[in-house]
C-alpha cells in the first residue's frame, strides 16, 4: 500500500465521541431517546456540528434538515464523495445505530486533516434528518419525498413537518431544492452496525452489503361472525381467528419456499371481540415482506393473494387487504462492494457478503448515485435497545475500512 493508504483513524477519539453522544438523551434504563427534531436531537446536532468544525469541515443545513459537513478536495468543482448516517433514535435506542456511521465519517475527515491530506474529490459527511420515522432527509436528497402530502411526514409527537424542519433550519416550501444527483454526489458509502447476529455467528469482522431490501407491508382485515363459543357447532362457525391462523402460516410458508431467502412477518394482531367465550368475529393483522429482489416481492404478494381467496372460501369469511408501504430495493454498486472487499484483504480482515434487511438512508441515496454499505457485528444481534453493543475493536475496524474505501473510490473516479 502507498503512503496515503497507510493512515488509520484515531480509535480513542472515535470512541470518546460515541460515548459522549450516547449521553445525550440517555434514559435511566441505559437506552437512548433522541427523537428527530426533539430538544435532545437538537443538542446532538449541535455537538456533532462542533466535531465537524474541529475536523476541518464547513458545515451547513439544507432545506430538508440534513446537517452536512464538507471537507474540500483538491478539485472543488469535482462531485463529492459522501458518507454518514443519522443520530436520531427510536424511543428506546442504542449507542451505535446511525451514530457510528456519522462519527466514523467525521473521524475519517479528522484523520485526513491530521495528516494534511486532501482527496481529489470533496468529502461530505451527512447527518440525515429523521431516519427512524419519515426518512425525510434522505428522501429529499433522492427526490422521492411526496411534496404534495406533508401530513405523511408529521413527527411521532404529531407535530407538522413544516414546524419540525423550521426548528432545525430547514424549509418545507423549498424542499425540492434539496434534491441531488450523480453530478454532485459521485458515490456514497455508509458504515452501520448490522442490527442482526449473522456476522457474530459466523465470526466475521466486516459485512459487505449487497443492497438494502425492498419492503411490502399490508394490513389484512378478516370478517367472520362473532357468536357464542359454547352453543355454535364447529361446522357452523365463521371464525375469523381460524382464518388468521391459516393466513399467518401461509405467509411463513410462502417466504420459506422462495429461493432468494426473503423474510416475511406477521407482527401485529388485533382480535375482536377478544373474549374467552366468544368466537372471534374480526381480526386485523399486518404482513411485512422484505427481499433484495422486487420480482420476488411481487411473486410473494401474488401468492399471498391467491392464498387469501382460498382461505376466505374454506373458512366462510371475508378477507380484504390494504397496502401500507411499498419500498423498492436498492442494490449496492458492484464497484463499491469490490472496493470494500479489496480493503478488507489489505487490512487482513475477514468479511462476508449479506443483504441489509433493515432500512437505511443508503436505500434512498442509492437511487441517485453509486452506493455501498459496510456492516460491523452487533453483539447478540440486538439493536433499538439498551442492549445494543458493538465492540470498540469492531467499530475501529469498520471506520478504517470506511477510510480506505473512500480513498480507493477517490482514486478511481
Q: Which residues are annotated as a binding site for Zn(2+)?
A: 86, 97, 132, 192, 384
Grid cell in block for residue 285: 393483522
Please give the distance of CA 306 from its chain centroid, rounded to a whole number: 31
Grid cell in block for residue 59: 458545515
CA dist 341 and 324 (Å) reads 37
CA dist 355 and 332 (Å) reads 9
Distances in whole angstroms, Cα of residue 196 to Cα of each of 130, 307, 384, 390: 22, 30, 11, 11
Q: Let me know the angle formed at the C-alpha of 234 by 231 and 240, rounded to the nearest 5 degrees.
A: 100
CA dist 100 and 399 (Å) reads 9
Return binding residues. Answer: 86, 97, 132, 192, 217, 277, 290, 384
Distances in whole angstroms, Cα of residue 225 to Cα of each of 13, 99, 285, 312: 63, 50, 17, 13
Grid cell in block for residue 177: 431544492
Sequence-ordered list of residues with C-beta below 8 angstroms from that of 293, at least 6 positions apart, any chain: 214, 260, 262, 329
CA dist 344 and 183 (Å) reads 29
Q: Are 138 and 153 in contact (CB under 8 A)?
A: no
Grid cell in block for residue 268: 401485529
CA dist 187 and 112 (Å) reads 18
Distances in whole angstroms, Cα of residue 413 to Cα of each of 118, 181, 201, 307: 15, 15, 36, 49
Q: What is the dihedral of CA 312, 315, 318, 322, to 10 degrees?
A: -60
Sequence-ordered list of residues with C-beta below 8 angstroms from that of 54, at least 6 positions apart, any chain: 110
Q: Are 194 and 209 in contact (CB under 8 A)?
A: no
Helix axes 99-114, 11-22, angle to 10 degrees: 140
Return binding residues for allantoate. Answer: 217, 277, 290
Strands 80-85 and 370-376: unpaired
Amino acid at each position: 500500500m502507498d503512503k496515503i493508504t497507510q493512515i488509520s483513524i484515531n480509535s480513542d477519539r472515535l470512541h470518546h465521541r460515541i460515548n459522549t453522544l450516547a449521553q445525550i438523551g440517555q434514559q435511566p434504563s441505559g437506552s437512548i431517546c433522541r427523537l428527530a427534531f426533539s430538544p435532545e436531537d437538537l443538542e446532538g446536532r449541535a455537538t456533532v456540528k462542533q466535531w465537524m468544525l474541529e475536523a476541518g469541515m464547513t458545515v451547513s443545513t439544507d432545506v430538508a434538515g440534513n446537517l452536512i459537513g464538507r471537507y474540500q478536495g483538491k478539485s472543488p468543482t469535482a462531485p463529492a464523495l459522501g458518507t454518514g448516517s443519522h443520530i436520531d433514535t427510536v424511543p428506546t435506542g442504542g449507542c451505535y445505530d446511525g451514530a457510528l456511521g456519522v462519527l466514523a465519517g467525521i473521524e475519517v475527515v479528522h484523520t485526513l486533516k491530521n495528516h494534511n491530506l486532501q482527496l481529489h474529490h470533496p468529502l461530505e459527511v451527512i447527518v440525515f434528518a429523521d431516519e427512524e420515522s419519515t426518512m425525510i432527509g434522505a428522501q429529499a436528497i433522492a427526490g422521492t419525498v411526496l411534496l404534495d402530502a406533508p401530513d405523511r411526514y408529521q413527527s411521532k409527537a404529531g407535530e407538522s413537518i413544516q414546524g419540525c424542519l423550521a426548528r432545525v433550519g430547514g424549509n418545507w416550501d423549498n424542499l425540492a431544492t434539496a434534491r441531488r444527483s450523480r453530478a454532485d454526489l459521485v458515490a456514497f458509502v455508509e458504515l452501520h452496525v448490522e442490527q442482526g447476529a449473522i456476522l457474530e455467528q459466523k465470526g466475521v469482522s466486516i459485512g459487505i452489503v449487497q443492497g438494502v431490501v425492498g419492503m411490502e407491508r399490508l394490513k389484512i382485515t378478516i370478517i367472520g361472525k362473532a357468536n357464542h363459543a359454547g352453543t355454535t357447532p364447529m361446522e357452523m362457525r365463521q371464525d375469523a381467528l381460524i382464518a388468521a391462523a391459516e393466513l399467518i402460516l401461509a405467509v411463513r410458508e410462502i417466504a420459506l419456499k422462495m429461493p432468494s431467502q426473503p423474510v416475511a412477518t406477521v407482527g401485529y394482531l388485533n382480535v375482536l371481540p377478544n373474549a374467552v367465550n366468544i368466537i372471534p368475529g374480526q381480526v386485523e393483522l399486518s404482513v411485512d415482506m422484505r427481499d433484495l429482489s422486487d420480482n420476488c416481492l411481487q411473486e410473494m404478494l401474488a401468492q399471498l393473494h391467491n392464498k387469501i381467496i382460498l382461505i376466505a372460501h374454506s373458512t366462510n369469511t371475508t378477507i380484504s387487504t390494504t397496502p401500507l408501504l411499498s419500498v423498492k430495493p436498492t442494490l449496492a454498486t458492484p464497484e463499491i462492494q469490490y472496493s470494500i472487499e479489496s480493503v478488507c484483504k489489505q487490512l487482513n480482515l475477514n468479511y462476508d457478503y449479506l443483504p441489509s434487511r433493515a432500512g437505511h438512508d443508503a436505500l434512498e441515496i442509492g437511487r441517485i448515485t453509486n452506493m455501498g454499505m459496510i456492516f460491523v457485528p452487533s453483539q447478540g444481534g440486538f439493536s433499538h435497545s439498551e442492549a445494543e453493543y458493538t465492540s470498540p475493536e469492531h467499530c475501529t475496524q469498520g471506520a478504517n475500512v470506511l477510510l480506505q474505501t473512500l480513498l480507493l473510490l477517490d482514486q478511481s473516479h
